[in-house]
Chains A and B, each alone.
Chain A
Amino acid sequence: MKPLAISHFSIVNSLGAGSEPVTGALRGRRSGLTACDFETVVLDTYIGQVSGLDQVRIRSDLGAYDCRSNRLAQLGLEADGYTGAVAAARTKYGSERIGVFMGTSTSGILQTELAFRRRDSQTGALPADLRYAETQNSFSLADFVQRYLGLRGPAFVVSSACSSSAKVFGNAARMMAAGVCDAAVVGGVDTLCLTTLYGFNSLGLVSRAPCRPSDVDRDGISIGEGAGFALLEKASEKPDQPAAVVLGVGESCDAYHMSTPHPEGMGAKLAMQRALAAAGLTAGDIDYINLHGTATKSNDASEDKAVFELFGDETPCSSTKGWTGHLLGAAGITEAIISILALQNDLMPGSMHTQDVDPALKCNHLLANRDARVNRVLSNSFGFGGSNCSLILATAG
């Protein structure tokens, strides 16, 4: 594929609002995970919660979109000067030439969960203040972002569980290559809600402690919330030095099981191979791998097999979910941006909370941060339904 310039990006999660606090937390090894006190949830687990969402006021012209998901989206759009960067791109390309491709798994489902507690005792009807199109429907996120940024190009939501906001890079690359748009706002948002907390708990996949990716005693995920956005332009038409470039996107399906990854990591391997092929690179060109690394027994084992088969036991790899938790539909964009921070800071973050790497795992799992030149990163995102996506990001020039 033709390289895409990431000319601007923003990030918000439990580590803070903006790339500065997130980089600081990575360097200082401060996790955002805390004991779960979300809403009325009674579960013995840790979560990565974004502080202050209850106080966010949705921009007044978009009041109908008010919900936790869109508040978090607004925080993300206002972080790192992102909205200003898009405004400049709007002047350059025209509002109808910039696409909006968003990933989310839950969108504003929390709003509907809460509305079900307030059903009319006589009729069973939902409260009149539930705004379905603006908050519950999966598209509400892209709709909100498109309106917030004053854009008029192609837009949709990708909702493929935990690979959603990695896959949007592929959508943007195709739309730009097809000439449907000249630039794209990609990203994703997922917020804490009862469906995912109780749902992952029902599958026995939620850790009682802060998650420990690739640890011998790992016992599941910590769920978090977050938002991330990137502005993509054609690398050939971006005169200034961009933050990073996207060299490759690889997508695949496991075709194995709805909620368990292929035990040999077949689909994961295929996604990584396709990303390398799209970038015209080989495994030896990758300096660091940001793993999907959820800290479930099955994910970390199958991902390790796939990575080992392609990269062997030398390429340093780690999971940053010990910092942020698993951001589900926002995991792809969040870890793409963490990969950019790794490129910009020459920092390979070692997996947090991990004490003893599972001896059954064969890859080079980093536990401590390593300061070393990072030119190219591969970032993995895998989801329910066997949906896999790998991205290759690199320093510009």
Chain B
Amino acid sequence: MRIFVEGVGLLGPGLNGWQASRPVLSGGEPYVATPTVVTASDRLPPAERRRTGIPVKLALAVGYEAFTNAGRDAAATATVFTSSSGDGETLHHICETLASAEREISPTRFHNSVHNAAAGYWSIAARSQEPSTSLCCYDASFAAGLLEAVAQVVVDGIPVALIAYDQPYPEPLHAVRAIGANFGMALLLAPQPTGRTFASLDVTLVPDEARPTCMSDAGLERVRASIPAARSLPMLSALGRSATEVVVLEYVGGNHLRVAVAPYR
């Protein structure tokens, strides 16, 4: 399935935006691990903005970066959200409250606990009534999201924004499921080349296991390996270098995804 890339968004530890990160992902500048800078989006009405947690802020930040790069209208674009664990802080607070004598959980916390909270806030911010889905596939959540987004682009012939994000759990959940840092990335994918197209992806589901493509920089490899959404880094690195390269992504069921990245001019 061949599709075209128009825009990228990225936020992670030491990765503060797509354009700023390209030299680091290309190996031109050294990678320095600093905490992910997450800021609230001014696209949401103030009442909604106050209620959002880090996953929503991550999703909105990378989503809008990709849309801005692509010059696309967010209101008219379908979305695929994918995350391994959604809002970990909210899950923690709910479980803590339910284990206490007073089980009254906050209504806002409850509606923020749904896995599609980011998609819901996104649709409000973008005023988008276009189809949107919210996926989970544990460590392979990025691969699953990419497969779904690409299938939608190809089958329905429409542009789709893929938004992947993960947030670490606080303790004690962190001890049973460690996620390295806050991380978000977005890709704007289209069925045909446009003036904004800068690369193509050819995605194939291959029915056998294969070693995933790793990052050559040890620091970036730690990010890739410790955050499900950051499994996207080797592909982003190829996009950042305008390289022609095959990237292997781990999937489930003994499969892997083969992603052939190529620059488009």
With known contacts A113-B95, A138-B136, A198-B105, A174–B155 Cβ distance under 8 A = yes
Interface residues of A in 237-284 (CB under 8 A from B): 251-259, 266-267, 270, 274
Contact A126 B104 (CB under 8 A): no
With known contacts A160-B134, A255-B127, A113–B98 Cβ distance under 8 A = yes
Contact B116 A202 (CB under 8 A): no
Tell me, yes or no, whether B28 is within 8 Å of chain A by CB: no
Contact B110 A195 (CB under 8 A): yes
Contact A159 B117 (CB under 8 A): no
The distance from the CB of A176 to the nearest CB of chain B, in whole angstroms, is 9
With known contacts A96-B253, A258-B112, A177–B155 Cβ distance under 8 A = yes
Give every chain A residue within 8 A of B113 (Cβ-Cβ): 195, 199
Tell me, yes or no, whether B205 is within 8 Å of chain A by CB: yes
With known contacts A159-B116, A384-B114, A152–B106 Cβ distance under 8 A = no
Comparing A59-67, A117-125, A298-306, the segment that makes contact with chain B is: A117-125
- Of all chain B residues, the one with the shortest Cβ separation from A102 is B136
0/1 interface trace, chain A 91-107, chain B, CB 8 Å (1 if under): 00000100010000100
Tell me, yes or no, whether A351 is within 8 Å of chain B by CB: no
Give every chain A residue within 8 A of B94 (Cβ-Cβ): 195, 199
- In whole angstroms, what is the CA distance A136 to B133 when docked? 20
Tell me, yes or no, whether A387 is within 8 Å of chain B by CB: yes
Give every chain B residue within 8 A of A200 (Cβ-Cβ): 110
- In whole angstroms, what is the CA distance A124 to B92 when docked? 13
Contact A158 B135 (CB under 8 A): yes
Tell me, yes or no, whether A112 is within 8 Å of chain B by CB: yes
Contact A160 B133 (CB under 8 A): yes
Comparing B29-37, B57-65, B145-153, B186-194, the segment that makes contact with chain A is: B145-153
- In whole angstroms, what is the CA distance A381 to B1 when docked? 30
Tell me, yes or no, whether A368 is within 8 Å of chain B by CB: no
Contact B123 A386 (CB under 8 A): yes
B123 is contacted by which of A194, A198, A254 (Cβ under 8 Å)?
A: A254
With known contacts A137-B138, A154-B253, A174–B156 Cβ distance under 8 A = yes
Give every chain A residue within 8 A of B51 (Cβ-Cβ): 258
Contact A202 B110 (CB under 8 A): yes
A146 is contacted by which of B148, B156, B253 (Cβ under 8 Å)?
A: B253
A139 is contacted by which of B48, B126, B137, B147 (Cβ under 8 Å)?
A: B137
Q: Which size bracket describes the interface of B in this complex? A: 35 or more
Instruction: Indicate the member of A113, A152, A174, A177 with the most B CB atoms within 10 Å.
Output: A174
- In whole angstroms, what is the CA distance A96 to B255 when docked? 9
B148 is contacted by which of A96, A151, A174 (Cβ under 8 Å)?
A: A174
The distance from the CB of A132 to the nearest CB of chain B, in whole angstroms, is 4
Contact B98 A157 (CB under 8 A): no
Give every chain B residue within 8 A of A251 (Cβ-Cβ): 131-133
Give every chain B residue within 8 A of A153 (Cβ-Cβ): 207, 253, 255
Contact B103 A198 (CB under 8 A): yes
Contact B151 A257 (CB under 8 A): no
The distance from the CB of A258 to the nearest CB of chain B, in whole angstroms, is 5
Tell me, yes or no, whether B225 is within 8 Å of chain A by CB: no
Instruction: Indicate the member of B95, B106, B156, B207 with the most A CB atoms within 10 Å.
Output: B95
A112 is contacted by which of B95, B151, B255 (Cβ under 8 Å)?
A: B95
A96 is contacted by which of B85, B126, B134, B207 (Cβ under 8 Å)?
A: B207
Contact A152 B254 (CB under 8 A): yes
Contact B129 A116 (CB under 8 A): no
Tell me, yes or no, whether B130 is within 8 Å of chain A by CB: yes
Tell me, yes or no, whether A203 is within 8 Å of chain B by CB: yes
Contact A180 B205 (CB under 8 A): yes
- Of all chain A residues, the one with the shortest Cβ separation from B145 is A156
B120 is contacted by which of A117, A175, A387 (Cβ under 8 Å)?
A: A387
Contact B136 A256 (CB under 8 A): no
Give every chain B residue within 8 A of A116 (Cβ-Cβ): 95-96, 98-99
Tell me, yes or no, whether B210 is within 8 Å of chain A by CB: no
- In whole angstroms, what is the CA distance A258 to B144 when docked? 25
Tell me, yes or no, whether B86 is within 8 Å of chain A by CB: yes
Give every chain A residue within 8 A of B175 (Cβ-Cβ): 125-126
Tell me, yes or no, whether B172 is within 8 Å of chain A by CB: yes
Tell me, yes or no, whether A312 is within 8 Å of chain B by CB: no
Tell me, yes or no, whether A16 is within 8 Å of chain B by CB: no
Tell me, yes or no, whether A361 is within 8 Å of chain B by CB: no
Tell me, yes or no, whether B171 is within 8 Å of chain A by CB: yes
Tell me, yes or no, whether A171 is within 8 Å of chain B by CB: yes
Give every chain A residue within 8 A of B129 (Cβ-Cβ): 252-255, 266-267, 270
- Of all chain A residues, the one with the shortest Cβ separation from B1 is A178
Give every chain A residue within 8 A of B107 (Cβ-Cβ): 199, 202-203, 259
Tell me, yes or no, whether A155 is within 8 Å of chain B by CB: yes
0/1 interface trace, chain A 358-380, chain B, CB 8 Å (1 if under): 00000000000000000000000
- Of all chain B residues, the one with the shortest Cβ separation from A40 is B103
A385 is contacted by which of B106, B119, B173 (Cβ under 8 Å)?
A: B119
Contact A387 B85 (CB under 8 A): no
Give every chain B residue within 8 A of A203 (Cβ-Cβ): 107, 110-111
- In whole angstroms, what is the CA distance A153 to B251 when docked? 10
Contact A386 B255 (CB under 8 A): no
Give every chain A residue within 8 A of B96 (Cβ-Cβ): 116
A198 is contacted by which of B85, B104, B114, B138 (Cβ under 8 Å)?
A: B104
Tell me, yes or no, whether A35 is within 8 Å of chain B by CB: no
Give every chain A residue within 8 A of B67 (Cβ-Cβ): none
Interface residues of B in 1-34 (CB under 8 A from A): 1
Tell me, yes or no, whether B215 is within 8 Å of chain A by CB: no
Contact A178 B99 (CB under 8 A): no
0/1 interface trace, chain A 148-187, chain B, CB 8 Å (1 if under): 0001111111111100000100110111011010000000
Contact A384 B116 (CB under 8 A): yes
Query: A119-B99, A159-B134 known; 16 other A-B pairs, CB under 8 Å?
Result: A117-B99, A143-B138, A143-B252, A152-B255, A153-B253, A153-B255, A154-B144, A170-B133, A199-B110, A251-B131, A253-B120, A253-B128, A258-B117, A384-B120, A385-B120, A387-B134
Query: What are some 11 contacts across the A-B interface (CB < 8 A)?
Result: A96-B253, A125-B172, A132-B177, A137-B136, A154-B144, A156-B141, A252-B130, A383-B114, A384-B111, A385-B117, A385-B121
